[in-house]
């Protein structure tokens, strides 16, 4: 049975059999057959996290809030010479689900999704995560408490995506966010349309553009950092320095040597990396040459891991060349834009010939009549 069929059958079973199916797969995959929701005492994790760690998380949240709050957009309204009014209004998604991998807990992923969601004004947030030994990672619970999120569910894997999508054991969500393994990704792909999804994240990627001024130790360690995510992760060096090219001859690092920075930029745009570091004499001057990258980090002191954890920029990025057409997760991903118009009689009667003719071209007679009938 292939992956697509395997995931489809589990989704369908959960849809048909509800909570019983979720419990079946939770026991099978997570060795857990208890309640999905947290008991009151399970929210009390103060003694499980040090004061220092709480302060660190609080500071990271503050940095994320500062960066993402600047992304909020105002509604747009304008009037034309006829006195008609047009605009674009912003409305937050009402309810979202955040999937947080539980096998190797990733509280940073929760932070990167939940903080901009709260800033956008999302009213309801449900977190799902696989329990380990029957428990949710205390850092996930702490972040939920700090951000005022009251729903955390002990559900992981395909069954978690199904539960959020179909409203099994919880209220149905409108859109699902968060990374997962190939099974979770396939489940997200299949439920798209039933709910919205953020993206289908692939293996982590890093590309470093470096010239002869770059510190070779910095470059190599940054290239190796993303390979830590797993054997499918990708690491690219694009350089004008033979010394750095030779120094970074390591397993897993794909290297390219060019004569000019312009050629390096062209290759980088072809790669369209998730993360791009530019470590050159004047990195800002390279930025205009870059068209395709999930995120750009400039200079020797902006390594990707710093952005992954504490800078405040978002680390949920397009992978697998999707940077050609996709963007970093930001506040707008949690907001719907709705067009609005109020047209005066004068404008409709004078300009409706435009729409009438197009309706004629398309053979849409009732569309035409709708515009013609008004006096």
Q: Given 186, 205, 274, 277, which residue is catalytic?
A: 274
Please state, in angstroms and rounded to a whole number, the distance separating the CA atoms of residues 177 and 164.
11
Which residue bears the tokens 């800033």? 119
Whether 367 is catalytic is no
251: which residues sit within 8 A by CB, 6+ positions away?
Answer: none
3-state secondary structure 76-100: EEEECCCCCEEEEEEEECCEEEEEE
Report the C-alpha gap between 243 and 257 in whole angstroms: 10
Among 13, 151, 275, 315, which one carries the catalytic annotation? 275
In order, the DSSP letters of 309-326 are HTSSS------TTGGGT-
Q: Is 274 a catalytic residue?
A: yes
* Angle made by CA atoms 173, 177, 180, in degrees to the nearest 5: 120
Helices (H), 44-153: 51-69, 107-120, 138-147
Cα dihedral 137, 59, 318, 224 in deg (nearest 10): -80
Which residues are marked as active site? Answer: 274-275
């Amino acid at each position: 049975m292939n992956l697509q069929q395997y995931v489809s059958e589990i989704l369908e079973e959960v849809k048909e059999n509800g909570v019983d199916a979720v419990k079946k797969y939770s026991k099978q995959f997570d060795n857990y057959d208890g309640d999905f929701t947290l008991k009151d005492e399970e929210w009390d994790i103060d003694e499980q996290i040090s004061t220092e760690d709480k302060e660190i998380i609080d500071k990271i949240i503050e940095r994320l809030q500062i960066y993402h709050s600047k992304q909020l957009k105002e509604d747009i309204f304008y009037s034309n010479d006829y006195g008609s009014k047009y605009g674009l209004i912003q409305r937050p998604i009402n309810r979202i689900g955040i999937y947080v991998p539980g096998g190797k807990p990733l509280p940073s992923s929760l932070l990167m999704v939940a903080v901009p969601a709260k800033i956008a004004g999302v009213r309801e947030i449900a977190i799902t995560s696989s329990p380990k030994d029957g428990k949710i990672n205390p850092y996930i619970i702490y972040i939920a408490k700090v951000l005022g999120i009251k729903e955390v569910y002990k559900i992981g894997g395909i069954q978690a995506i199904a539960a959020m999508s179909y409203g099994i054991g919880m209220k149905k969500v409108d859109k699902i966010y968060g990374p997962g393994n190939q099974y979770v990704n396939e489940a997200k792909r299949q439920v798209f349309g039933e709910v919205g999804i953020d993206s289908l994240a692939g293996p982590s990627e890093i590309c470093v553009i470096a010239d002869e001024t770059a510190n070779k130790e910095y470059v190599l360690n940054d290239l190796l950092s993303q390979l830590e995510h797993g054997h499918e992760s990708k690491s690219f060096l694009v350089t004008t320095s033979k010394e750095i090219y030779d120094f970074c001859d390591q397993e897993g690092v794909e290297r390219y040597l060019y004569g000019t920075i312009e050629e390096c930029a062209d290759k980088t745009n072809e790669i369209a990396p998730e993360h791009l570091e530019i470590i050159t004499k004047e990195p800002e001057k390279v930025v205009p040459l870059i068209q395709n990258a999930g995120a750009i980090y400039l200079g020797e002191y902006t390594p990707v891991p710093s952005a992954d954890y504490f800078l405040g920029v978002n680390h949920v990025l397009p992978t697998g060349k999707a940077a050609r057409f996709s963007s970093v997760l930001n506040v707008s991903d949690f907001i719907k834009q709705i067009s609005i118009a109020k047209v005066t009689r004068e404008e409709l009667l004078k300009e409706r010939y435009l729409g009438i003719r197009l309706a004629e071209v398309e053979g849409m007679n009732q569309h035409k009549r709708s515009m013609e009938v008004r006096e």
